[in-house]
Amino acid sequence: MGTEIERKFLVNDMTWKPSRKSLDVIQGYFPTNGFSLRVRVQDDRAFLTLKKSKSQISRHEFEYEIPADDARELIGLFCGSEVIEKTRHLVEYKGFTWEVDEFHGRNAGLVVAELELENEDQPFEKPSWIGAEVSQDSRYLNANLARCPYSTWKK
């Protein structure tokens, strides 16, 4: 069984740019209750992922690579409007790879940075462009952004 331990932060400014590696990502979410089932197309690769919360920053995670054409078809057939589009930038900082997601479409204007850790208490240093932590705010989970996009939030 896999476990994902992830901290999530808002991004204060764009001084992290440019990153050396960026990926175009489309994620579709299947209607579920109590867990997340998503299909992700990331450039020319695709994955089917199941997640279930263990704690506020840890989740059980099972991920399987699938053909990209199958993933696109699954998104079209089963995900409806529960889709997010983003560009993921991989930014190296003091021994860690930060995943900075610039959202598009219905979540345009939202930029978050995620950091995967080996354990919940693992220390790390935040870059200057990192803002408030939103790890415990469920609105920022990608599955919830697909259902209730950033553009619909009251500012």
What would the two tokens of residue 62 be? 């099972």
Strand, coil or helix: 79: helix
Residue 135 near residue 57, CB atoms below 8 Å: yes
> Which residue out of 29, 64, 140, 150 is catalytically annotated?
29
Q: Is 80 left (phi over 0), alpha (psi -120 to 50) or beta?
A: left
Catalytic residue check, 64 = no
> How far is 139 from 84, CA to CA, in rounded Å?
14
What would the two tokens of residue 130 be? 């990192």
What would the two tokens of residue 14 be? 């764009």
Residue 67 near residue 7, CB atoms below 8 Å: no
Residue 79 near residue 39, CB atoms below 8 Å: yes
Catalytic residues: 29
